[in-house]
Amino acid sequence: MADNQNLEALKAPGAVFFIFGATGDLARRKLFPAIFSLYREGKLAEDFAVVGVARRPRTNEEFRDDVFRSIQEFGRYKSSDQEKWNKFAEHFEYKSLDINNVAGFQELKEQTEAIEQKFSIPGNRLFYLALAPELFGSVSLNLREGGMLDNEGWHRLVIEKPFGYDLKSAEKLNEELGHVFKEDEIYRIDHYLGKEMVQNIETIRFSNLFFESLWNNKYIANVQITLGETVGVEERGGYYDHAGALRDMGQNHILQLLTMIAMEPPSRPLAEDLRDEKVKVLRSLHHFADAAEVKANVVRGQYTAGQSKGKDLPGYREEDKVDPDSNTETFFAARVSVDNFRWAGVPFYIRTGKRLPVKTTEVVIEFKKMPGNIYLGQKHDLQPNLLVIRVNPMEGIYFKINAKKPGSESEIAQVAMEFCQSCLVGINSPEAYERLIHDAAKGDSTYFTRWDEVASAWAFVDKIDAAWKENPSDVSSYPAGSWGPKEADELLARDGFHWWPVNGEEEDNVIWVAASSS
Ligand X SMILES: O=C1O[C@H](COP(=O)(O)O)[C@@H](O)[C@H](O)[C@H]1O
Ligand Y SMILES: NC(=O)C1=CN([C@@H]2O[C@H](COP(=O)(O)OP(=O)(O)OC[C@H]3O[C@@H](n4cnc5c(N)ncnc54)[C@H](OP(=O)(O)O)[C@@H]3O)[C@@H](O)[C@H]2O)C=CC1
Nearest residue to ligand Y by CB is 24
Give me the sign of the Cα torsion angle 324, 247, 200, 367: positive
In the set 54, 177, 333, 492, which binds ligand Y (CB under 6 A)?
A: 54
Q: Are the C-beta atoms of 442 and 13 separated by less than 8 Å?
A: yes
CB neighbours (10 Å) of residue 42?
A: 14
CA distances 174 to 179, 189, 278, 515, Å, are 9, 14, 19, 46
The C-alpha atoms of residue 308 and residue 482 are separated, in whole angstroms, by 8
- Give the residue, chosen from 16, 67, 108, 130, that forms a contact with ligand Y under the rule CB under 6 A: 130
Is the Cβ of residue 233 or residue 455 nearer to ligand X in the bound state?
A: 233
Q: Binding to ligand X by residue 160, rule CB under 6 A?
A: no
Coil vs helix vs strand at 31: helix
Q: Give residues with Cβ within 8 angstroms of 38, minimum separation 6.
A: 12, 44, 434, 437, 438
**Shortest Cβ 229–ligand X spacing (Å):** 6
Which residues between 153 and 212 bind ligand Y (CB under 6 A)?
Answer: 160-162
For 124-164, give the secondary structure using H, E and C.
CEEEEECCCHHHHHHHHHHHHHCCCCCCCCCEEEEECCCCC
E strands, 2-54, in order: 15-20, 48-54
Beta strands in 22-72, from DSSP E residues, in sequence order: 48-54
Amino acid letter, 207: S
- Residue 21 assigned as binding residue: yes
Residue 337 DSSP symbol = E
Segment holding 94, helix H or strand E: strand 92-96
- Of 98 and 489, the one with the shorter C-beta distance to ligand Y is 98
Site size toward ligand Y (CB under 6 A) is 20
* Residue 301 in marked binding region: no
Distance of CA 236 to the CA centre of its chain: 17
Q: What angle do CA 482, 347, 339 make, to 5 degrees?
A: 140
73 near ligand Y, rule: CB under 6 A:
no
Shortest spacing between CB 54 and ligand Y, in angstroms? 3
The answer to whether the annotation marks 296 as part of a ligand binding site is no
- What 3-state class would DSSP assign to 5? helix
Q: Is 253 a catalytic residue?
A: yes
C-beta of 117: minimal distance to ligand X in Å?
38
Catalytic residue (choose from 253, 286, 287, 380) = 253
445 binds, among ligand Y, ligand X, none (CB under 5 to 8 A by kind): none
- The answer to whether 188 touches 313, Cβ cutoff 8 Å, is no
- Report the residue number, 33 or 384, with the smaller CB distance to ligand X: 33
Which lies closer to ligand X via its Cβ, residue 174 or residue 226? 226
Selected binder of ligand Y within 23, 112, 124, 302 (CB under 6 A): 23
* CA 71 to each of CA 29, 49, 76, 147, 381: distance values in angstroms, whole numbers, following the listed order: 8, 17, 8, 32, 51
> Is 191 annotated in some ligand binding site?
yes
Q: Which of 261, 284, 285 is nearest to 199 (CA)?
A: 261
Annotated binding residue 155: no
- Is 22 marked within a binding site? yes
CB-nearer residue toward ligand X: 15 or 436: 436
Residue 248 engages ligand X in binding (rule: CB under 6 A): yes
Burial class (CB in 10 A: 0-12, 13-18, 19+), 151: middle
Q: How far is the CB of 394 from ligand X (least distance, A)?
A: 13
Asked if 392 is part of the footprint of ligand X (rule: CB under 6 A), the reply reads yes
Our finding on whether 229 is near ligand X (CB under 6 A) is yes
Q: Choose the contact partner of 248 out of ligand Y, ligand X, none; CB within 5 to 8 A by kind.
A: ligand X
Pick out residues in 434-453 that bind ligand Y (CB under 6 A).
none
* Binding-site partner at residue 99 among ligand Y, ligand X, none, CB < 5 to 8 Å by type: ligand Y
- Of 385, 398, 391, 362, the residue nearest 215 (C-alpha): 385
User: Which of ligand Y, ligand X, none interacts with 133 (beta carbon under 5 to 8 A by kind)?
Assistant: ligand Y
> Does residue 99 bind ligand Y (CB under 6 A)?
yes
Stretch that binds ligand Y, among 6-14, 97-105, 275-283, 395-403 (CB under 6 A): 97-105
Q: What SS3 state is found at 346?
A: coil
Nearer to ligand X, 105 or 478 (CB): 478
CB of 21: closest distance to ligand Y in angstroms? 3
Residue 392 binding result from ligand Y, ligand X, none, given CB thresholds of 5 to 8 Å by partner type = ligand X
Length in residues, the chain:
518
Please, which of residues 344-373 interact with ligand X by CB under 6 A?
A: 361
The answer to whether 146 and 102 are in contact (CB under 8 A) is: yes
**Cross-strand pairs, 479:** 304
Smaller CB separation from ligand Y, 162 or 484? 162
Question: Which of ligand Y, ligand X, none has residue 229 at its interface (CB below 5 to 8 Å by kind)?
Answer: ligand X
Q: Which residues bind ligand X (CB under 6 A)?
A: 229, 248-249, 361, 392
Q: Which residues are annotated as a binding site for substrate?
A: 191, 195, 229, 248, 354, 359
Q: Which residues are annotated as a binding site for NADP(+)?
A: 21-28, 55, 98-99, 161
Q: Which residues bind ligand Y (CB under 6 A)?
A: 21-26, 54-56, 98-100, 130-133, 135, 160-162
Active site residues: 253
Q: Which residues are annotated as a binding site?
A: 21-28, 55, 98-99, 161, 191, 195, 229, 248, 354, 359
